[in-house]
Amino acid sequence: MKRRSLINALIYASLILLAFCFIAPIVFMLVGSLKPDARVLVEAGSLSAFLPEQVSLQNYSDVFARVSFSRYLFNSLLITGSIVVAGLVVNSLAGYAFARMQWRGRDWVFAMVMMIMIVPLEAIAVPLFYEVTLLGWRDTYIVQIIPFIANAFSIYLFYTFFLGLPRELEEAACIDGAGVLRTFITIIVPNAKPAFATVTILTFLTQWGAFLWPLMVTSGEAVRPLPLGIATFYSLPPLQWGDIFAFGVMMVAPILVVFLLFQRWFVRGVAATGIKG
- pLDDT, averaged in runs of 10, over the chain (277 residues): 79 89 85 80 65 81 92 95 96 93 90 89 91 92 95 93 85 79 88 89 92 91 91 86 91 88 68 48
CATH number of the CATH domain containing 189: 1.10.3720.10
Give the range of the structural domain holding residue 130, as residue numbers without chain letter. 66-276
- Residues 91 and 218 reside in one and the same domain: yes
Number of domains in the chain: 2
- Residues 223 and 268 reside in one and the same domain: yes
- Is residue 171 included in any domain, yes or no? yes
pLDDT at 276: 45
> Which of 236-241's residues contact partners 24+ apart within 8 Å by CB, and which partners?
236/66, 236/67, 240/37, 240/59, 240/62, 241/32, 241/37, 241/40, 241/41
- Residues 29 and 135 reside in one and the same domain: no
- Is residue 61 included in any domain, yes or no? no
- Residues 223 and 135 reside in one and the same domain: yes
The C-alpha atoms of residue 126 and residue 139 are separated, in whole angstroms, by 16
- Residues 112 and 247 reside in one and the same domain: yes
- Percent pLDDT > 70 in the chain is 92
- Is residue 102 included in any domain, yes or no? yes
- Residues 31 and 75 reside in one and the same domain: no
- Residues 26 and 163 reside in one and the same domain: no
